[in-house]
Amino acid sequence: MSSSPTLERLPLVVRDWLVGWLPESLRWLAGSLLAIVAVIVAFASLFALLTLVERKLLARVQNRPGPNRTGLPFLPFTKNRLFGLGQPLADGIKMLTKEDIVPRTADRVLHFLAPIALLAFAILTLAVIPYGRHLVPLELEAGVLYFFAAGAATELGVFMAGWASRNKYSLLAAMRALAQLISYELPLLLSIVPVVMLAGTLSPGGIVERQGGWSFGLLPQWHVFTPWGVTGFAIFFVTALAESNRSPFDLPEAESELIAGHLTEYSGFKYALFFMAEYFGMCALCGMGVTLFLGGWQAPLPFLAVVPSYVWFVAKLLTLLLAFMWVRATLPRMRIDQLMRLAWKFLVPLALVNLGVAAFWALTADWTGAVRATRWLIAAVLIAGPFVLLGRKLTTGLAPRTYRYAA
Amino acid sequence: MLGSGLLQGLAVTAKNFVGSFHDPARYTTVEYPEQPTKLPEAYRNFPFLVTENATDPMGTLRCVACQICEKECPPQCIYIEKSADKKPDATGKLQLYPKVFDIDTSVCMSCQICVEVCPFDAIKMDQVFAIATTDRFDGLLLKREQLAKSNDYYHSIHPTEAAEVDARLAAERKAAAEKAAAAAAAKAAAAAAQKPASPAVMPPDEPRRSSQSEGGRPPA
């Protein structure tokens, strides 16, 4: 059972209808531009919504209501404030009307380009994610490779911002940010190698197709429901937090230690662009996580497949984003040495072990019957053992911390 | 094991998040202008004049225009004019009343000295703090009509203190009534004895000290 083809293809039908007004020679161009506009508009509104949802969620965790005063502008004289739904709009207007300060000694060109570069690379990554069965803005054979290449380029933007500000705090923070982002790039890539290995393709659409179907007609065959998949997803989740500068890895803009890191010398709309790029990056990484591990646009249960595929993708994406916020609401910021230790002494070895487990899983794909349970057991032990050992090793001799000079 | 602490922390925040929707203990925020909070009983600022009857505030002011507070006020923010006629006070005795009683709240420092020196429990500390006006001269100069607030209001803001004051006033009223009755009886007896009325010296009034007046004006 699958959703009706009309509903499934609805966005494409709308696009074709719109493009149909143009002469034949311009249609491919208009179609591409329309896809770009659709992606940017969709994610910009998601960004606006997320800022509000994040503030509300953090507030609820801290026993307060969060922003709830701003109504929508077209309901000006009513008491109905719609849970503060107008807050993102008000924030946007505030950001636009703020003074845009450029330090006198700053490199004006780089200072101006940094937020644009960051945002551009973040938007580029959104192009290859399969949002639905037929909804891929850019179908690339090596889409996963493209995604992580473009994603890694955002580090350039961060360093541009720190360097161009000509501010020692900005530069220090940018270097720290660079150290963090490059360190976590490695476990991030290692965590997705098993997916590529097992799926045998670098195309995101192909990877989602491989995760279709249900074992026993009930359990979805998503990668996260395998021993190597769940480990890979856990590593991916942690490194995605670090790559998108989210708490507890928000050292690049540790406002209590480094003023605001590489954002110190940015104000007004440029600051808003950085913020936007950060959220776009987070959405892109979550989207890739959904694609690689959580079955992409596949429905979780067979009878739920009547719902169009893009609805499932959005639902999973929002769930993952909410999980990011939940982590932010819970964990305090790490120290830079803890951050580095976690990446190099724990995540990278664990990702390498996971690679071995994935290889074992691939080699034993033909085990059936009772031996199948053994396959699960061996894989679980192969993962859990190193996890416990590495976890013990991570803090040995380092905790609890003693303060020699504090009374 | 590594990660168990993280999971515990996540459970705590999840509990707080879900609890904020149904458990008042996990949603302690008060949305102030819409939901005014009850101030603590001990909170006090700016004096007001107590009236016995809310329906006739100007006719039942406890204040007898003795001007002690006016004289004691350190920043001199009180201005009183005595009346020409007299009205019965709380104990039924004929007393003056304030024709004008102004407090300049832009000068008042909420020191409570006026309350401590008042022998008639006529002036008490209020619980107002939202006193912003657009006119800093007339808007902050409070007239006796604005200052007069009922005894019930006093009970609602400082219940313990108000009950104490009421008990004391009731006792005084009773004592005054008994004295009057005794005086009437003595007079009747004297009339019966056909003796010339002796110029009986009035016993001094029971000192009406407020409970907070330690170190204030010595009793008359």
Chain mean pLDDT for chain B? 83
Helix, strand counts (H, E) of chain B: 6, 8
Provide, as residue numbers in chain A, all residues whose Cβ is less than 8 Å from the Cβ of B13. Answer: 61, 326, 329-330
Widest distance between CA atoms in chain A: 79
> What value does the mean pLDDT take over residues A288-297?
90
pLDDT greater than 60 at residue A273? yes
**pLDDT value for A213:** 78
**pLDDT value for A315:** 92
Amino acid at position A178, single letter: L
Confidence of residue A85 (pLDDT cuts 50, 70, 90): confident
**pLDDT value for A136:** 85
Range of weakest confidence among A68-82, A360-374, B128-142: A68-82
Confidence of residue B61 (pLDDT cuts 50, 70, 90): confident
> What value does the mean pLDDT take over residues B13-42?
87
d(CA A82, CA A402): 50
**pLDDT value for A74:** 67
pLDDT greater than 90 at residue A317? yes
Question: Is B6 part of the contact surface with chain A (CB cutoff 8 Å)?
Answer: yes
Residue pointed to by tokens 């504090």: A406
Give the gap in angstroms from C-alpha A252 to the nearest C-alpha of chain B. 22
| Domain regions of chain A by residue span | 98-336
Residues pairing with B141 in the sheet? B104
Tens digits of residue pLDDT in A26-42 = 888 888 888 899 899 99
pLDDT greater than 50 at residue A1? no
Taking an 8 Å cut-off on Cβ atoms, the answer to whether B2 and A64 are in contact is no
Question: Is B192 part of the contact surface with chain A (CB cutoff 8 Å)?
Answer: no
**pLDDT value for B209:** 46
* Peptide bond preceding A220 in cis form (omega within 30 of 0): no
> What value does the mean pLDDT take over residues A134-140?
84
Give the ranges where A268-369 is alpha helix by DSSP (H): 268-292, 309-330, 336-341, 348-363
**pLDDT value for A349:** 93
pLDDT greater than 80 at residue A359? yes
> What value does the mean pLDDT take over residues A114-137?
89
Tens digits of residue pLDDT in B67-119 = 999 999 999 999 999 888 888 766 667 888 888 999 999 999 999 999 999 98
Retrieve residue A62's tokens: 């801290």
d(CA A180, CA A260): 16
Give the gap in angstroms from C-alpha A330 to the nearest C-alpha of chain B. 6
Residues pairing with A81 in the sheet? none
pLDDT greater than 90 at residue A321? yes
Question: Is B9 part of the contact surface with chain A (CB cutoff 8 Å)?
Answer: yes
d(CA A2, CA A213): 12
Residues pairing with A13 in the sheet? none
Regarding predicted confidence, which is higher, A245 or B218? Answer: A245
Regarding predicted confidence, which is higher, A24 or B125? Answer: B125
- Map residue B100 onto helix, strand or coil: strand
pLDDT greater than 60 at residue A366? yes
> What value does the mean pLDDT take over residues A130-159?
88
Q: Are strands B148-150 and B45-51 parallel, antiparallel or unpaired?
A: parallel
- Reference A261, options A190, A352, A154, A163; nearest CA is A163
Question: Is A61 part of the contact surface with chain B (CB cutoff 8 Å)?
Answer: yes
Amino acid at position B35, single letter: Q
Residues pairing with B149 in the sheet? B50
Q: How far is CA A342 from CA A187, A394, B120, B168, in A?
A: 10, 7, 75, 73
> What value does the mean pLDDT take over residues A318-347?
90
Retrieve residue B219's tokens: 């009793």
Helix, strand counts (H, E) of chain A: 15, 2
> What value does the mean pLDDT take over residues A102-129?
90
- Reference A223, options A189, A194, A203, A184; nearest CA is A194
d(CA A73, CA A81): 10
Taking an 8 Å cut-off on Cβ atoms, the answer to whether A65 and B16 are in contact is no
Quick one: which H or E segment has residue A171? helix A168-199
Taking an 8 Å cut-off on Cβ atoms, the answer to whether B16 and A57 are in contact is no
**pLDDT value for B198:** 52
Of A60, A327, A387, which has the smallest distance from its Cβ to B20's Cβ? A60
Range of weakest confidence among A244-253, A350-359, B178-187: A244-253
Question: Is B28 part of the contact surface with chain A (CB cutoff 8 Å)?
Answer: yes
Of A63, A327, A391, which has the smallest distance from its Cβ to B20's Cβ? A63
Retrieve residue A116's tokens: 């644009």
- Map residue B50 onto helix, strand or coil: strand
> What value does the mean pLDDT take over residues B161-171?
89
CA-nearest residue to A387 within chain B is B2
pLDDT greater than 80 at residue A386? yes
Q: How far is CA A96 from CA A7, A20, A133, A272, B75, in A?
A: 39, 37, 38, 8, 49
B4 touches A387 (CB < 8 A): no
**pLDDT value for B196:** 54
CA-nearest residue to A324 within chain B is B10
- Reference A161, options A272, A264, A280, A242; nearest CA is A264
Give the gap in angstroms from C-alpha B130 to the nearest C-alpha of chain A. 21
Q: How far is CA B36 from CA A63, A306, B29, B30, B31, in A?
A: 18, 51, 12, 8, 8
d(CA B151, CA B165): 10
**C-beta atoms surrounding A264 within 10 Å:** 22
DSSP string, B111-178: --HHHHH-TTS-EEEEB------S-SSTTTEE-HHHHEEEHHHHHHHSHHHHHHHHHHHHHHHHHHHH
**pLDDT value for A291:** 92
Confidence of residue A303 (pLDDT cuts 50, 70, 90): confident
How many residues does this entry show for chain B?
220
d(CA B145, CA B148): 5
d(CA A48, CA A236): 25
A155 touches A178 (CB < 8 A): yes
**pLDDT value for B90:** 61
Question: Which residues are CB-contacts of A66 (< 8 A; sequence separation ≥ 6)?
Answer: A55, A56, A57, A58, A59, A60, A84
**C-beta atoms surrounding A262 within 10 Å:** 33
> What value does the mean pLDDT take over residues A378-392?
88
**pLDDT value for A233:** 93
pLDDT greater than 80 at residue B178? yes
Question: Is B14 part of the contact surface with chain A (CB cutoff 8 Å)?
Answer: yes
pLDDT greater than 70 at residue B127? yes
Q: What percent of chain B has pLDDT over 90?
A: 25
Confidence of residue B215 (pLDDT cuts 50, 70, 90): very low
- Map residue B47 onto helix, strand or coil: strand
**pLDDT value for B220:** 47
* Peptide bond preceding B98 in cis form (omega within 30 of 0): no
Q: Which residue of A54, A62, A233 is the best one to mutate when testing the B interface, meaning the one whose CB has the most B CBs within 10 A? A: A62
**pLDDT value for B104:** 92
**pLDDT value for B213:** 45
Residues pairing with B82 in the sheet? B98
Taking an 8 Å cut-off on Cβ atoms, the answer to whether B10 and A63 are in contact is no
pLDDT greater than 70 at residue A376? yes
